[in-house]
Amino acid sequence: MKSNRNRIVAAIMLLAVIALVWLGRGRIHFDWSVFGRQLRMADWRKMAIALGCIYAGYVVRSARWVWLLRHKKKMAPLSLLGTQVIGFTAVALIGRVADLVRPYLVSKRTGLPISSQIAVYIVERLFDAGSMALITSSVILLSPSGALPHAEVVRKAGYWGLALTLLGTLFLVAVRLWGDTVGSLLGGLFGRISKGFGQAVEGKIQAFHSGLDTIRSFSDFGVAAALSLGMWVMIAFAYLETTLAFVASPQLAAMTPSEGVLLMIVSGGASVIQLPVLGWFTQIGLVAGAISKFFGVAPEAATGCAAALLLITFLGIVPVGLIWARFEHVSLKKVTEESEHVAEEMAHSAGASTQEA
């Protein structure tokens, strides 16, 4: 059922992209020879360094997941590296529907319940979001006046990002200490709008509370936060190195660290809704448009940079993941369907138990 819905959404988006290209064909002036020259003159050593940073990020992801599981199961820091590589390969090739492949594979490898690994996945994503917000806000607010495009708007966004990060941290602490109470309060609040929605909110917060059981001390939090910040600094550096590789574009070759972080956020926002294959081209188009508009880069150089960013930061893991999956006899399509089926069963069971209560 969901696969059919995904195909319909993909078809609609494809038609929308075709329509936009058709309508804007007279306004878009794109020189393919200039585009090719930008790629040929690029510094591929910088791109190799960027890809190395992205690969190192997967190693950190493995160590972080192992750390979050250490109270339930002791494992070597790199014992879950394969689950991370294969999981992100599935997302790159199949789309966001494959997001639960990683917790599903970790559950199979460790023998721990899938529900506990989905909870860890949620906690991991919160650390990612908090790290990105903290890095972005700090870079924006510490940048000299006029160093960023649309400086006033960007600086306001930095303040908001810092405030949201602080609120998110306080919410995390509240759920960790008083999860049942917070769940009941928010469930009752949203239940005034819709009883079913209120029950769903309460159930999600309770699941989140169980996931936070992986963080039992300040040292647990500190290590997970340090790993997350270190990983996102490497990812931001990968974005900057990829951009600086386009030496034939004066604007890209002179990109500053603060501008690189801003570009990372734009690219991350464009990848939120990721459809297989089609999503790659829509992401390139959105990021190229942002590069051209924010930094005054020519369309050919902006498109080349956007394509390189996609290949290095998102698709670069695919060859390794496919080889790893083959050695471990893992079918990406099969584990995606199985993880989706398990998630549906969990949601159905949670809904039934909530109604009984």
Indicate the DSSP class of residue 29.
Answer: -
What contacts 278, CB < 8 A, 6 or more positions away? Answer: 10, 13, 14, 17
Quote the pLDDT of residue 271: 66
Q: What angle do CA 271, 275, 277 make, to 5 degrees?
A: 105
Q: What is the pLDDT of residues 298-350, one digit of tens each?
A: 888 999 999 999 999 999 999 999 999 999 999 999 999 888 887 777 666 55
> Residue 352 and residue 357: Cα distance in Å, rounded?
9
Answer with the residue of higher pLDDT: 24 or 45. Answer: 45
In the chain, where the domains are located: 73-110+330-357, 113-216, 218-316
**Of the ranges 106-110, 114-118, 128-132, 266-270, which one carries the lowest mean pLDDT score?**
266-270
To 5 degrees, how large is the angle CA 217–CA 219–CA 225? 110
d(CA 290, CA 276) in angstroms, rounded, equals 22
> How far is the C-alpha of 103 from the C-alpha of 114, rounded, in Å?
7
Asked if 13 contacts 275 with a C-beta cutoff of 8 angstroms, the reply is yes
**Does residue 202 register a pLDDT over 70?**
yes
pLDDT bucket at 119, cuts 50 / 70 / 90: confident
How many angstroms separate the CA atoms of 320 and 277, rounded? 18
Name the band, by pLDDT with cuts 50, 70 and 90, for residue 235: very high
pLDDT at 276 over 70: no
127-143 pLDDT, tens per residue? 898 888 888 878 777 76
Are the C-beta atoms of residues 343 and 102 closer than 8 Å to each other?
A: no
Mean of pLDDT over the chain: 81
Both tokens of residue 25? 């064909």
